Amino acid sequence: MVHIATGVRYGEDTSGSGKAARAAALVARLQAMQRQINAKSFAVLRVNGMAATRKLTCVLHNWGAASEVNAHDLIKVYGEELLQHLDRSPLPVLWDGQGQHQIAEASDFEPFTYRLGGRRLSYSGIGFPVRLGAQGNGYVVFTGSYMDASGEQLVELHGRCAHVMTDMLAADERRTVRAEALSDREIACLQMAGDGHISEEIADKMGLSVHTVNAYLGAATTKLDSVNRIQAIAKAIRLGYIS
């Protein structure tokens, strides 16, 4: 199942203007980047799910009325190839669209890019893969008709795309922290789990039952919006709860 954002909605909320302002700032940064390579639009794709259930989701774009069609087609046609590329290479990806004028090129940087096969979409594109750990992985994509980016532009834009994705992940994690902070016991259990101790060992050291330790770890995993203990530990480290 493909989940698609149908408007520029990242950071949208009903509680005030703070998130909306941050979203507008992200959009402005991405629009400035798209202009550098003569692109017509941008889209941010993020990885959701784990292992066999992973999928790309379009979370931010300025495609306007064509958003559903464009996002659906991109993920349907190239989603699996993009996920595989994200696992094995940091190189920017290029693809040509249908028709002779739908072209994406990096004439002086072609050996350091990865080209997606065929002219299978109605638009051409340049995508920058970003890996931030257990969460926050994905692509910043720029689409249009004819785009010819220099190697210097691609290197610069790739770094700026990584900053955009980092800021989006940080915003997600700030919302998690504000929503429900971890208790001292949950932090202690996570720290020992992160140090390699199993539940029985943690219970013995803390003078608790194994059931109680697992309950603390489960609660922390839920609060950190993680799918398992390993992901919760990784997120707790990034948030500064544990070392």
pTM for this predicted structure: 0.70
Tell me the mean pLDDT in the region 8-13.
Answer: 42
Distance from C-alpha of 179 to C-alpha of 223, rounded to nearest angstrom: 8
Tokens describing residue 218: 């489960």
Through-space distance between the first and last CA atoms of the chain, rounded to whole angstroms? 37
Range picked from 64-73, 95-104, 155-164, 181-190 for highest mean pLDDT: 155-164
Hunting for tokens 């902070």 — which residue is that? 181
Cα angle for residues 237, 130, 159 (degrees, 5° grid): 105
Q: Does a structural domain hold residue 225?
A: yes
Hey, what long-range contacts does 105-113 have (CB within 8 A, 24 or more apart)?
Answer: 105/147, 105/148, 105/149, 106/148, 106/149, 106/150, 106/151, 106/154, 107/148, 107/150, 108/150, 108/151, 109/149, 109/150, 109/151, 109/154, 112/151, 112/154, 113/154
Q: Considering its fold, how many domains does the chain have in total?
A: 2
Torsion of CA 233, 235, 239, 240, to 10 degrees: 20
pLDDT digits (tens, 9 = 90+) for 110-120: 999 999 988 89
CATH assignment of the domain containing 136? 3.30.450.40
Tell me the mean pLDDT in the region 136-149.
Answer: 95
**Domain stop point among 177, 201, 225:** 177
Q: Does a structural domain hold residue 235?
A: yes
* Residue range(s) defining the domain that contains residue 157: 18-177
Q: Does a structural domain hold residue 104?
A: yes
